[in-house]
Amino acid sequence: MAERLEDILDEHLAVIFCGINPGLMAAAQGHHFAGRNNRFWRTLHLAGFTQEEIRPENDRTILQYRCGLTAVVERPTARADQLSAAEFSAIATDFEQKITRHAPRFVAFLGKAAYCGLSDQRDVAWGPQSKTFGNAAVWVLPNPSGRNRAFSLDQLVVAYHQLRSAAGEIQPHSWPLSAQENTES
């Protein structure tokens, strides 16, 4: 099993999607959202972020759509509720510095648990937040995990599409972008 799921990040992305932590299958395969029942890639496509549904083994292609992936807590678990509040507190400063360093327009937390753990807020609403995180606008989206059946696929798509609309035009590019394109973003 992989000890750590590698981030898929670059500077000045439109959106960095932040999972709570890697699932065991994602860590074992070395690819984000690799669980057979995870709806992330389908939701992303249906919400208009990608031109096609990306397969987990091709997760790095998300950079072509000016989006990136990371996990708030690096430790893989079978369920997110196996993480402690202390784990979120311990990484809060480093995680915010990571977001600041990569300078996305939006940071999207997939599930309330991670954002609540990092922001010391007990209750947050879905969607845009009033505070920034690492100088990026914050959006809280429902977690697409197959274990999260509180949201149907249609509800996930609607929620993710709201962020897609707020992010504006995200044109696919060959990666890496030229220096000129980077400054235009």
Q: Tell me, what CATH number does 56's domain have?
A: 3.40.470.10
pTM of the model: 0.87
- 10-residue stretch averages of pLDDT, the chain, 185 residues long: 81 95 89 91 96 96 96 86 84 94 97 88 93 96 88 96 88 42 37
Instruction: Judge whether 123 and 160 are in contact, CB under 8 Å.
Output: no
What confidence score (pLDDT) does residue 171 get?
55
Q: At CA 148, angle to CA 142 and CA 151, rounded to 5? A: 55
Whether 124 is covered by a domain: the verdict is yes
Whether 163 is covered by a domain: the verdict is yes
Structural domain for 58, as ranges: 15-167
Whether 172 is covered by a domain: the verdict is no
Whether 184 is covered by a domain: the verdict is no
Closest C-alpha among 71, 63, 56 to residue 11: 63
